[in-house]
Amino acid sequence: HYIENLKRLDKISKERLLFGNWEYDDDPTRLINFDSINDIFTNNFKDTGSKYISCDVARFGEDKTVVLVWDGLKVVEYKVLAKSSIVEVADLIKKLASEYRVPMSQVILDEDGVGGGAVDLLSGCKGFVANSRALNGENYTNLKSQSYFKLADYINTNQISWPVIGPEDKERLIEELDQVKQQNVDQDKKLSILPKDKVKDILGRSPDLSDALALRMFFEIAPRIKTRAAKY
């Protein structure tokens, strides 16, 4: 089914995804350099002590829940879950947060759909609403596009590291990040990325791994709020 989908793609995508010819053409809409995508897996930065968790919660039957544990901008552990309940997802995040000493204020979950239930179970965590307004008045159609543009910038400048990824997930992530593209590039509109439903049509699945990466960018974008007790 996946191969048949690929055969119907445009020539550029077919060469890259079906025939593995990653050097074929430079698509001006593509946001992430292919060499920089590969560098993610060999970048191995020093620990920073600042820990985060990002989680893309599965919505439908074939989607997967992806939980990433971060030290700074390096993924130090991850879990991919198939057909797990909201309670199981919340319990796993609590366990990882305790093990890695991640405060709930530095945990973020996709709040759209069923993810909202997990957010309710994790008091103090952040909920990410993809279609909400971009932060800081920046010129993006929504928060998800803003986060993906930030992720593309961080990957292209070698600031993201995921050395612990397994071989199958590595290939999946390469395919997903290669489809991070700007939509309506020739139009004078707010910046936006290719919609998820179109990416799913191309890949034959949901880009769960890249979505979990993009969620982490919220903490790089969000305005810093100062209080007497803490700084966020």
Q: Tokens representing 96?
A: 């990882």
Tens digits of residue pLDDT in 189-210: 799 999 999 999 889 899 999 9
Mean pLDDT for 10-32 is 71
Q: Tokens representing 155?
A: 């990957």
- Asked if 143 and 128 touch (Cβ cutoff 8 Å), the reply is yes
At CA 181, angle to CA 223 and CA 7, rounded to 5? Answer: 150
Coil, helix or strand for 55?
strand
Q: Rounded to whole angstroms, how far apart are CA atoms 179 and 172?
A: 11
- Between 8-12, 34-38, 113-117, the lowest mean confidence (pLDDT) is in 8-12
Q: Distance of alpha carbon 169 from its chain centroid, rounded? A: 13
Q: What band does 24 get if pLDDT is binned at 50, 70 and 90? A: low
pLDDT at 202: 87
What end-to-end distance do the CA atoms of the chain give, in Å? Answer: 46
Give the pTM: 0.85
